[in-house]
């Protein structure tokens, strides 16, 4: 795994071309290896590809899957995560200048969710 990997944020219509030019892995777009597959979301694809086995990440994956697919009732937390992520996204154009700025303010939410999953058996 590349500890120095970085995400490139580009319009969805440009992902394939930029990925090819930069020798990057397309993420979270139609048909990408690291994208949605049936009931699974891109977070699940990352876990599978990189063989992640951290129990908290695996617990968190189910919450994220529910929030990132139409299965909002998958876990008790999924609908809440969906609401929070959607709220951040709605604020984005007026408050955050780009995806990196949005990611910076959203990161503590996901850090807190990770800690919740690490410290409780409730998110199984």
Tens digits of per-residue pLDDT, 41-50?
A: 999 999 999 9
17 located within any domain:
yes
7 located within any domain:
no
Domain boundaries, position 79 = 12-119
Query: pTM for this structure?
Result: 0.85
Distances (CA, A) of 8 to 14, 27, 30, 100: 11, 10, 17, 9
49 located within any domain:
yes
- Domain tally for the chain? 1
pLDDT tens digit sequence for 67-109: 999 999 999 999 999 999 999 989 878 888 888 888 899 999 9
67 located within any domain:
yes
């Amino acid at each position: 795994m590349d500890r120095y990997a970085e995400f490139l944020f580009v319009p969805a219509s440009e992902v394939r071309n930029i990925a090819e030019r930069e020798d990057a892995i397309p993420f979270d777009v139609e048909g990408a290896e690291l994208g949605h597959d049936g009931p699974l979301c891109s977070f699940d694809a990352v876990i599978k590809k990189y063989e992640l086995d951290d129990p908290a990440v695996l617990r968190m994956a189910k919450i994220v899957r529910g929030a990132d697919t139409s299965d909002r009732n998958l876990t008790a937390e999924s609908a809440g995560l969906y609401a929070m992520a959607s709220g951040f996204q709605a604020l984005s154009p007026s408050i955050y200048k780009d995806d990196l700025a949005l990611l910076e303010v959203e990161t503590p939410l996901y850090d807190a969710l990770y800690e919740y999953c690490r410290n409780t058996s409730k998110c199984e």
